[in-house]
Structure 1
Amino acid sequence: MSAYVLVELQVIDAQAKAKYSSVAGATVRSYGGEFIAGGEWELLAGDPGLPVGIIIRFPDRQSAVNWYNSSEYQGIVAQRSEAMVCRFRLLS
């Protein structure tokens, strides 16, 4: 069954985000992940949270967990922190 990583974010440094995203995307794909949606949230009800969202689909929960915990991805988490405030959630 597919698993989804839901990312909420607010960019704090556009150049740092571009650098992070160019590397992060390759790590996602190497674990079978696929970006299926991204952009500004349209608030329908409730707390607005962070303004931008991304949805990444993985083949299964374990692939998503393996990606997030991989040395390749964890190696760029510091870059992510420079680029944005974010929240990652796993739905499977």
Structure 2
Amino acid sequence: MTAQTAKQKASAAAKDANSTAPKVTTESKMEVYLSKTVQLVPGAEPLKPGSHSLIESVATGLIEDGLAVSKESANSEEEGEE
């Protein structure tokens, strides 16, 4: 009985991993400004430089890697140059 349950769980997990249905996330989004083109997922369309709304953890990672700045930071830098 246990082996059958494990197989069912593995099968359900495999179906979920291969699902194209959008995943629900409770993580908030953050506006960032990309300084260069970034490929987030292999095979997906890369994000071009400019303003984007990304999941906060992804946006934070890009900021830490120096590939993006928060939109608030970008706006304050532009205001300081005037």
TM-score, structure 1 as length reference: 0.28
TM-score, structure 2 as length reference: 0.31
**Structure with more relative contact order (C-alpha pairs < 8 Å, separation 6 or more):** 1
Which one has a larger percent strand, Structure 1 or Structure 2? 1
